[in-house]
Amino acid sequence: MSVLDTISISSLAAADALPGRGFWMPERASTVAGDVDFAFNLITWISVFFFVLIVAVMAIFIVKYRRTNGREAEQTVTHHTALELTWTIIPLILVIIIFYVGMVGYLDLRTSPVDAYEVRVTGQKWFWTFEHPSGCIEVDVLRVPVNRPVRLVMGSDDVIHSLFIPAFRVKQDVVPGRYTTLWFEATRTGTFDLFCTEYCGTGHAQMVGHVIVYDEDEFDDALRECREWIEDIDDAQLHLAGANLFNRCQACHSLDGSPGIGPSFLETHEYFHDRRERDMIDGTRALVDENYLRQSILNPRWNTVAGYQPGQMPVFQGQLSERQLRSLIEFIKRLDEIELDDRGRPQVLSPDQIRELGGDSPNDAGAEQ
Ligand code: HEC
Ligand SMILES: [Cu+2]
């Protein structure tokens, strides 16, 4: 660690405002980022050096030894021990150095400290679910404390995904049928990108999220807020809270009637509103009421809407609290009250904004009755 640290800090550090941000690399925000950049820069600059050297020598030799009229080809040496030892031993030393740097870095990346904070991660078409020990479950937002090792235990519900946090320089495949792990220790607070880097189907490009790094005490507050905010939203505003959860559904369900992997919620809303029955794939019909919505979200395997593929809709049993489920159902029921932007996405209000709409104003409460 320490040797590599000193070299990597002194070498090639870019003069940019964000620490570690250079021509090739995003900012550095984890303990291993420096080592990864060092290995990358080392290999790159060795390659650049030899590329320039070899091409230059080649160009000089092409000119110097080109065929010229009246000049006889000379006998050349076939063997030169000193030269051969040089071009064997120097590269050998270089690849041993590269191996050493790579191996030490790899071992650091693979071996998580025992006291790490653990988060369960599920990759699903096409979103990430992060589950904290304290019960906070969130989609596409990973909240972590600064200066504390975090270990991700990851699984996939469908196909191979891969979790990548560029600023932390960590990346690991997420594979169905087994757990893979990844650890990091963030060194700075702030918000960083998180991607899926394994092509996993039509919605792959939407499988993006954020890591939010907090100071230790802010972290506890953030987790409490994550668990509890929806519990104290008034029933009258619950559909607005549902818009906050819609990011788990938007890969497959539109709100403006446009077709998708699943039925548009506009259509579902109209079925609900008109008390109509849906044709199901097994030839039966089902009335679209609260129970139908509940069943469709928690346990979609019970049946499939005609015209859609079975098994596509993720099972949300155990992933939503009762209140979250209710807010999603309210969201579909009262979709006509949700403002959409020009790309058909719902206006998402923060928990505080939603709270402000409720409570104090008797008008709002009255309108709901
Ligand atoms: C990976 C794609 C996908 C995601 C993500 C997804 N769904 Fe679905 N959903 C489907 C498909 C496909 C169907 C239709 C087939 C079926 O009934 O299983 C469906 C059907 C439904 C239905 C029945 C609709 C109707 O009009 O009859 C509801 C309700 C529903 N989904 C709610 C949700 C909610 C709420 C979320 C987010 C929390 C969600 N879905 C996320 C694919 C998805
Ligand atoms: Cu993916």
What ligand 1 atom has the least distance to the C-alpha of 124?
1
pLDDT at 189 (0 to 100)? 95
Domain 117-226 in CATH 3.20.20.70: no
Q: Please, which residues have CB less than 5 A from ligand 2, an ion?
A: 161, 196, 200, 207
Is the pLDDT at 16 greater than 70? The verdict is no
List the one residue out of 41, 26, 32 whose CA is nearest residue 5. Answer: 32
C-alpha 13/C-alpha 187 separation (Å) is 17
pLDDT at 359 (0 to 100)? 63
Is the pLDDT at 95 greater than 80? The verdict is yes
Q: What pLDDT, in 10s, does the model give residues 304-328?
A: 999 999 989 989 888 888 899 999 9
Q: Is 328 in the pocket of ligand 1 (CB under 6 A)?
A: yes
pTM over cut 0.95: no
Q: Is 248 in the pocket of ligand 1 (CB under 6 A)?
A: yes
b/e sequence 209-229, b meaning 16+ C-beta within 10 Å:
bebbbbeeeebeebbeebbeb
Who contacts 89 (Cβ-Cβ below 8 Å, separation ≥6)?
none
Residue 296 CA, ligand 1 centroid: distance in Å: 7
Q: What's the pLDDT band for 108 if we cut at 50, 70, 90?
A: confident
pLDDT at 145 (0 to 100)? 96
Average pLDDT of the segment spanning 354-369: 57
Is the pLDDT at 330 greater than 70? The verdict is yes
Residue 106 CA, ligand 2 centroid: distance in Å: 24
Residue 170 host element (H or E): strand 170-174
Q: What pLDDT, in 10s, does the model give residues 210-258?
A: 999 999 999 999 998 888 888 888 899 999 999 888 988 888 999 999 9
Q: Is the peptide bond before 126 cis (omega within 30 degrees of 0)?
A: yes
For the chain, how far is it from start to end, CA to CA, in angstroms? Answer: 65
Domain 233-361 in CATH 2.60.40.1930: no
Helix axes 81-110 and 33-64, enclosed angle (nearest 10)? 160
Q: What pLDDT, in 10s, does the model give residues 144-182?
A: 999 999 999 999 988 999 999 999 999 999 999 999 999
CATH 2.60.40.420 location in the chain: 117-226
CATH 1.10.760.10 location in the chain: 233-361
pLDDT at 369 (0 to 100)? 36
pLDDT at 360 (0 to 100)? 53
Q: Is 40 in the pocket of ligand 1 (CB under 6 A)?
A: no
Who contacts 302 (Cβ-Cβ below 8 Å, separation ≥6)?
295
